[in-house]
Structure 1
Amino acid sequence: MRDDIQIGIIGGGAMAEALTAGMVHAGTLPPSQISVSEHKAMRCDELMHRYGVHAQVGAESFLPRISVLILAVKPAAAAAAMRETAPLLKKGALILSIVAGLTIAEIEAAYPQHPVIRAMPNTPLAVGAGMSAYARGMYADTAYSSTAEMVLGSAGRTIEVHESDLDAVTGLSGSGPAYAFLILEALVEGGVAAGLKRETASVLAAQTLLGAAQMALTSKQSPADLRAAVTSPAGTTAAGLRVMEHAGVRSALIEAVLAGAERSRELGRG
């Protein structure tokens, strides 16, 4: 546990909560070292009671003492948030942005001389299974990337990429949990249609997706090889896969990732 880092989070939405939950549950930082600024007082109360962190309307009181500022606002609110927070930050404070489409150049222009890291995490951070990709700005050396990895990796995996990759990351791992939930929902409905109780189908489907993902992460085989290993000739899996291919499931998922990436680019263009 680090006692030399104070975190300030601007925004109290789902992703800000996922980051907060990840750090608190993993024991990366004590709740007393995390401050959240959110414009809804009721939401502040929720975050304080749920995680024990400081949460308030307005950030003026904690900005001068924090060492890491996490921007977790909606893209439309980013410009105002940067304008209001920049004058109060101490020298050398790291800016860690998870705002979709907000470029490193734009952030560095708003926070001159500050180290900047732009990241795209996803909501499974809240349960210790997040995926975060990040890119560094010109003033962010390896010490700052280590800090970012500590924050983002407290409840999941991290990977450093080029900033030009982040739109694709957004379409894949940023939006990917929603795609997985849709698949999970459909598998559950299929189980129910086949005669299972909903509770039973839900556990079977969720654990199956979890297990498949764990195999993909730990195996040296490709997803295609793993799929082939499960598929016996003329068996039940082959029958199911034939239906999925006929319905265009594979191409639909590819197009979903591409659409998410393109939307991220549109947000970046303003």
Structure 2
Amino acid sequence: MVTKQFRFKVGFIGAGNMAQAICQSLINDAFYKPMQIAAFDLSEDRRTYFHNQFGIYISKNNVELADHAQTILLAVKPQVMPAVLEEIKPVIGPGQTIISIAAGISTGFIESTLNRSVPVIRVMPNTPMMVGAGTIALAAGQYAGRDHLNFAKTLFAPSGVVLCVEEHLIDAVTAISGSGPAYFFYLIEAMIQAGIDMGLSAENARTLACNTALGAAKMVTTLEDSPAELRRKVTSPAGTTEAAIKVLDQNKVQQHFIQAINAAAIRSKELGK
């Protein structure tokens, strides 16, 4: 069988913020030239932005894109995924790979909807990809081999840390790292507001909170101590940190955080039904 020659190396169906981060890294790291990339989005504003920002080809519709891209990156909302898959189904064929970043959508669902033995890689990225500091988890479908996984690793490596997991763990990944940046933003919001309430300027409160978060992240990722041990070292008996931790413990903040993360995992499962 003669393998089809594809006009584009990768095509983005959906041109939102995550697709933007991925496209930006591909071009910045010279992984692909702009002429090798295509995109389509229902939003005219997003199509215009991608064309002007990256100089890539903007397809006329999803079908044209899927027909001419060797790797199709599905970056649409989970709710519209079934319709998109039905739309592109007639043009999917040998030599193509599907990569999906849609939360809750399994590789099995994509494979069965397309009704093709097409390699599918499910990806859970997070928004720090936009600054090259993402955490990206990959899971292979039944037709995806080691070569497809290695390709996906290479594709996402410029955007952050990449790891492979079994697909049944993707919902946990979604809850921890996919939604995770929002948890830290939530905490930083609270720290900033506390600083303002105590008389600091908004600018100084933001600087203190953000740089403290950055420093703590560097410590926990570079030092051998566990997070619990690092916390213990800064929590002097009868000191200011201990006073704060006591309030957090009294209000069961750690337990509530675990409950919140579990809720995110449950919602991820629900999105796939």
2:183 aligns with 179
Candidates 207, 210, 214, aligned match of 2:214: 210
Q: What amino acid sits opposite 1:140 in the alignment?
A: A
Q: In 1, Cα distance between the equivalents of 2:67 and 2:266?
A: 37
Q: In 2, Cα distance between the equivalents of 1:83 and 1:105?
A: 15
1:103 aligns with 106
Equivalent positions of 1:114-125 (< 5 A) are 114-125=118-129
Equivalent positions of 1:34-49 (< 5 A) are 34-49=37-52
Q: In 2, Cα distance between the equivalents of 1:86 and 1:257?
A: 35
Secondary structure at the aligned position of 1:118 is classed as strand
Candidates 67, 70, 74, aligned match of 1:67: 70
Compare 163-172 and 237-246 and name the one that shifted more. 237-246
Contact 2:8 2:68 in 1 (8 A): no
Q: In 1, Cα distance between the equivalents of 2:64 and 2:168?
A: 35
Matched, 1:92 2:95: yes
The change in CA–CA distance for 1:228 and 1:163 in structure 2 (over 3 A counts) is same
Compare 75-84 and 17-26 and name the one that shifted more. 17-26
Provide the aligned C-alpha RMSD in A: 1.9
Residues 194-216 of structure 1: CA distance to partner in whole angstroms, max 9, x if unpaired?
Answer: 22221122122112112212222
Q: In 1, Cα distance between the equivalents of 2:186 and 2:53?
A: 28
2:133 aligns with 129
Compare 232-241 and 81-90 and name the one that shifted more. 81-90
The change in CA–CA distance for 1:193 and 1:149 in structure 2 (over 3 A counts) is same
Q: What amino acid sits opposite 1:12 in the alignment?
A: A
Which ranges of structure 2 fall in alignment gaps of 5 or more residues?
A: 1-6
Equivalent positions of 1:18-33 (< 5 A) are 18-33=21-36
Matched, 1:192 2:196: yes
Candidates 228, 248, 259, aligned match of 2:263: 259
Candidates 210, 235, 238, aligned match of 1:234: 238
Matched, 1:244 2:248: yes
Matched, 1:146 2:117: no
Number of residue pairs matched by the alignment: 266
Matched, 1:13 2:16: yes
- Please state how far the C-alpha of 1:124 moved relative to its aligned partner: 1.0
Q: In 1, Cα distance between the equivalents of 2:27 and 2:238?
A: 49
Residues 140-194 of structure 1: CA distance to partner in whole angstroms, max 9, x if unpaired?
Answer: 1111111111222221111111111011111111111111111111111112222
Contact 1:40 1:57 in 2 (8 A): no
The change in CA–CA distance for 1:189 and 1:266 in structure 2 (over 3 A counts) is same
Q: What amino acid sits opposite 1:34 in the alignment?
A: I
Identity of aligned residues (%): 39
Compare 16-25 and 133-142 and name the one that shifted more. 16-25
Q: What amino acid sits opposite 1:145 in the alignment?
A: L
The change in CA–CA distance for 1:5 and 1:145 in structure 2 (over 3 A counts) is farther
- Please state how far the C-alpha of 1:18 moved relative to its aligned partner: 2.6
The change in CA–CA distance for 1:61 and 1:162 in structure 2 (over 3 A counts) is same
Candidates 198, 208, 224, aligned match of 1:220: 224
- Please state how far the C-alpha of 1:5 moved relative to its aligned partner: 7.1
Residues 76-106 of structure 1: CA distance to partner in whole angstroms, max 9, x if unpaired?
Answer: 2111111222322341211111111111111
Q: In 2, Cα distance between the equivalents of 1:177 and 1:257?
A: 12
TM-score w.r.t. structure 1 length?
A: 0.91
Q: In 1, Cα distance between the equivalents of 2:72 and 2:196?
A: 46
Matched, 1:77 2:110: no
2:55 aligns with 52
The change in CA–CA distance for 1:146 and 1:37 in structure 2 (over 3 A counts) is same
2:3 aligns with none
Q: In 2, Cα distance between the equivalents of 1:251 and 1:177?
A: 19
Q: In 2, Cα distance between the equivalents of 1:66 and 1:85?
A: 12
